[in-house]
Copies of this chain bind each other. A is one copy, B any other.
Amino acid sequence: MRTLVLIGHPDLAHSGTQAFLQAAAGALTDADEWDISAQGVPDSAEILRLQGEMRRYDRLIFQFPLYWYSMPGVFKQWLDTVWTTPFVSGRPGEAPPLAGKELGIVVTFSQAQQDYRLGGREHFSLSELLRPIAALGLAAQMQLLPIFPVAQFGYMTERERQHLLVTYAQYLSLPAGAHFADRAQWFAAWLTQHASAHSDYAAWAAALTAQQEQLADLHDTLAEMRREEDDAL
């Protein structure tokens, strides 16, 4: 799985959220990253080069803070310039260059996640607000991954940040629709690989591997209970 994260942030250097996510991606994944706000206005040769580079990946991630309910202007301007019509829709009689690849969205925002729903403070869901990206993905014949929302990073506890670290790295690395067992296996491998970084990692990895079957059962039961709870709302 070759993943490229396209980060569009008007002030990347001063974003704690983005710094955290970049550190997570660097430590836990093989994903590449582009800071597209630093690319300036590419000329036509540079546009072709960037398009060629993007075609080498299996998964592209749009990563940005939500500005007025959509991507920041700096990201949109880059898309308007670099994602030309032949690059998205293909030339007549040819498949679109990105057809079959995956498109993920990592969106950060300072509101609570439940604000984004019918009757919530922001009225619309993220799925509704980010529909232009869904339309772009459809035009390019890409497979859309579920949105990965990062709400109120500034208020997260250390434990929540650890959870974000792992789920974000998995969003970048794991096959789409990975089951709990895949996730546990991925995490065990990562813990083993980084055993020298923390005295407990090796033991956790061993426990994860040994108890994988019981953990998967437990996970399914919990997921079932959560579904029943949601249905009761």
Contacts and interface: CB of A to CB of B under 8 A. Distances in A.
A135 B131 contact: no
Interface string A28-60: 000000000000000000000000000000000
Interface of chain A, helix or strand or loop or mixed?
Answer: helix
Contacts of A134: 123-124
Interface string A97-141: 000000000000000000000000011100011011111101100
Interface residues of A, number: 31
Contacts of A136: 68-69
Interface of A: 10, 67-81, 83, 88, 122-124, 128-129, 131-136, 138-139
A67 B134 CA distance: 14
A180 B123 CA distance: 33
Chain copies in complex = 2
B74 A77 contact: yes
Given A73-B73, A73-B74, A76-B77, 10 more contacts: A67-B76, A67-B80, A68-B135, A69-B135, A69-B136, A71-B76, A72-B76, A73-B76, A124-B134, A128-B131
Contacts of A74: 73, 77
